[in-house]
Amino acid sequence: MDNVAVGLDIGTTKTCAVIGFMNENNQVEVVGVGVAPSKGLKNGVVVNIDNTAASIVKAIEEAELMAGCEVTDVYAGITGQHIKGENSRGVVAVSNRGRTITPTEIRRVIEAAQAIVVPVDREILHVLSKEFSVDDQTGIKDPIGMNGVRLEAEVHIVTAATNSTQNLLKSIAKSGFQCSDIIFSSLATSEAVLNQDEKELGVVMIDIGGGTTDIIVFFEGGVSYSAVLGIGGIHVTNDISIGLRTPIEAAEMIKKKDGCAVIDIVDASESIEVPSVGGRAPRRIFKQELSQIIEPRMMEIMEMVDRELLKSGRKDVLAAGVVLTGGGCIMDGCIEAAERVFNMPVRIGESKITAGLRDKVKSPIYTNAVGLLMYGLKMREFQKGKSKAGRESSITSIGKRLKRWFEEYL
Ligand SMILES: Nc1ncnc2c1ncn2[C@@H]1O[C@H](COP(=O)(O)OP(=O)(O)OP(=O)(O)O)[C@@H](O)[C@H]1O
Ligand SMILES: [Mg+2]
């Protein structure tokens, strides 16, 4: 199958590959999923290339087996605290004869907007246009064809530490696959879980993973803020392990089975069994005692996100509220905890996939891999469309350039 693409989520706790294609009804159809534990990452960043490559091989081979086809290249996600998002503006004069805005002017103004100083150890991952202004008219989404003398663009620029990007690329190369593109994880995940009307109304998507919590804010259809925090579900598990003096594996199991992020919704009479360390007999504790350990950590994560929201300056206008995704949000009480901290409506974001193995990839754990697949397929469609329209001459087919061009209209 030459029309399939692969979304590859190299997460802190697991590596997940999702294979799919765009079917005749224009739906993304998932045909293969593979998951392997990640052993070479810390807080979303590759710290061991060999181990990361081994997880990639395992996940992709499993997905290939299920899909019954072989793949060569992947769309991979990147996250980590090294990722920074910032807003920028660019202005150009519309100097062609008719003073009409064409794709050339759009490209010029986007280029002007990305003229921020990027330190030598960082690189630009995405330049996402939010809106354009033509002369004094603001809030224009697609100015092509309009007349004016001054074109202004507002963009959100995502940059990453070059070392982290290189280590991710090296891991993929070592696994024997090619990387079609690297995409900021939150941006890809938003493809899989958010609806267009939420993006228009204003929404924050929070991906609580194992080692990171990723935040992305959409307003009026565009990205207006993004950030990555180095905290996630692993911290909750560690707290349980220390607090209950039980091995990490047992703490992880207890958390998944009986954890609740809010103490006062837990039945006060319920108790659970906790394995002890050093060959001692297991003990019974009240479920509420477990939540006494979990709640403060979950609250801390949410409060850290809340501080980012305040920084974004958009907190008060996010009419579509909060969408939680990532494995860390599966726990009972997560919605209640988030509602208390953010004071906004909260929902859990699952993958919007409607065709193929949708039940296999619905869980918030797989939204990143699915989002990467959807993003990749969209990008491919765009590239095909562009080449059909014979516009390659002005848009060099070099990945990055094409990608940015594509994102202007995403
Ligand atoms: N049922 C559950 N209840 C509570 N927590 C859960 C549940 N299922 C998974 N988790 C937690 O979700 C986390 C993993 O989530 P996810 O797979 O989204 O992370 P990741 O992508 O590997 O990491 P990151 O995005 O931080 O790099 C783990 O900490 C795990 O304990
Ligand atoms: Mg993740």
What are the pLDDT digits (tens) for 177-216? 999 999 999 999 999 999 999 999 999 999 999 999 999 9
Token duo for residue 349: 């974001």
Lowest mean pLDDT among 49-63, 320-334, 375-389: 375-389
Domain shared by 130 and 208, yes or no = no
**Hunting for tokens 């267009």 — which residue is that?**
196
Domain shared by 342 and 226, yes or no = yes
CATH number of the domain within which 344 lies: 3.30.420.40
The answer, yes or no, to whether any atom of ligand 1 lies below 6 A from the CB of 186, is no
User: pLDDT value at position 1?
Assistant: 63
Instruction: Compute the mean pLDDT over every residue in the chain, rounded to the nearest whole number.
Output: 92
Residues 6 or more apart from 251 whose CB is under 8 A from it?
237, 238, 240, 241, 244
User: Does some domain include residue 58?
Assistant: no
Domain shared by 114 and 210, yes or no = no
Residues 6 or more apart from 121 whose CB is under 8 A from it?
161, 162, 163
Q: Quote the DSSP letter at residue 137.
A: E
> Is the distance from CB of 14 to CB of 366 less than 8 angstroms?
no
Label residue 158 by pLDDT band (50, 70, 90).
Answer: very high
pLDDT, tens digit, for every residue of 100-149?
999 999 999 999 998 888 899 999 999 998 899 999 999 998 899 999 99
Alpha-carbon distances, residue 213 vs 16, 190, 226, 262, 392 (angstroms) = 18, 14, 11, 19, 38
What backbone phi and psi angles, to 5 degrees, belong to 99?
50, 40
User: Does some domain include residue 301?
Assistant: yes
User: Does some domain include residue 50?
Assistant: no
Number of domains in the chain: 2
Domain span at residue 132 reads 84-160
Label residue 393 by pLDDT band (50, 70, 90).
Answer: very low
Of the bound ligands, which one is closest to the alpha carbon of residue 189? 2
Domain boundary among 160, 186, 207: 160
CA distance 202 to 182: 26
394: pLDDT strictly greater than 60: no
What backbone phi and psi angles, to 5 degrees, belong to 31?
-120, -10
Average pLDDT of the residues in 69-75: 96
User: Does some domain include residue 390?
Assistant: no
Q: Nearest C-alpha to atom 25 of ligand 1 is from which residue? A: 209
Domain shared by 296 and 345, yes or no = yes
Token duo for residue 299: 């609250």
The answer, yes or no, to whether any atom of ligand 1 lies below 6 A from the CB of 80, is no
Label residue 237 by pLDDT band (50, 70, 90).
Answer: very high
Domain shared by 240 and 295, yes or no = yes
Domain shared by 145 and 204, yes or no = no
Mutate to test the pocket of ligand 1, among 205, 324, 350, 365 (most ligand atoms within 8 A of CB): 365
CA-atom Rg of the chain in angstroms: 22
The answer, yes or no, to whether any atom of ligand 1 lies below 6 A from the CB of 326, is yes
The answer, yes or no, to whether any atom of ligand 1 lies below 6 A from the CB of 374, is no
User: pLDDT value at position 397?
Assistant: 32
Domain shared by 295 and 229, yes or no = yes
The answer, yes or no, to whether any atom of ligand 1 lies below 6 A from the CB of 356, is no
The answer, yes or no, to whether any atom of ligand 1 lies below 6 A from the CB of 252, is yes
Nearest of 174, 159, 171, 180 to residue 81 by alpha carbon: 159
Nearest of 234, 249, 330, 252 to residue 290 by alpha carbon: 252
- Residue 174 C-alpha to ligand 2 middle, in angstroms? 21
Domain shared by 308 and 254, yes or no = yes
User: Does some domain include residue 31?
Assistant: no
Q: What ligand 1 atom has the least distance to the C-alpha of 13?
A: 22
With 0-12 CB in 10 A as exposed, 13-18 as middle and 19+ as buried, what is 153?
buried
pLDDT, tens digit, for every residue of 22-61?
999 999 999 999 999 999 999 999 999 999 999 999 999 9
Average pLDDT of the residues in 265-279: 92
Beta carbons within 10 angstroms of residue 52's beta carbon:
24
User: Does some domain include residue 336?
Assistant: yes
User: pLDDT value at position 383?
Assistant: 77
> Is the distance from CB of 16 to CB of 35 less than 8 angstroms?
yes
- Residue 213 C-alpha to ligand 1 middle, in angstroms? 10
362: pLDDT strictly greater than 90: yes
User: pLDDT value at position 386?
Assistant: 63
Domain shared by 209 and 294, yes or no = yes
Edge-to-edge strand list for the sheet holding 213-219 = 222-229, 213-219, 203-208, 322-325, 346-348
Q: What ligand 1 atom has the least distance to the C-alpha of 213?
A: 26
CATH number of the domain within which 156 lies: 3.30.1490.110
User: Does some domain include residue 315?
Assistant: yes
User: Does some domain include residue 150?
Assistant: yes
Token duo for residue 287: 């479920």
Alpha-carbon distances, residue 376 vs 21, 60, 71, 170 (angstroms) = 10, 16, 14, 20
Domain shared by 307 and 239, yes or no = yes
Domain shared by 201 and 343, yes or no = yes
Domain shared by 217 and 289, yes or no = yes
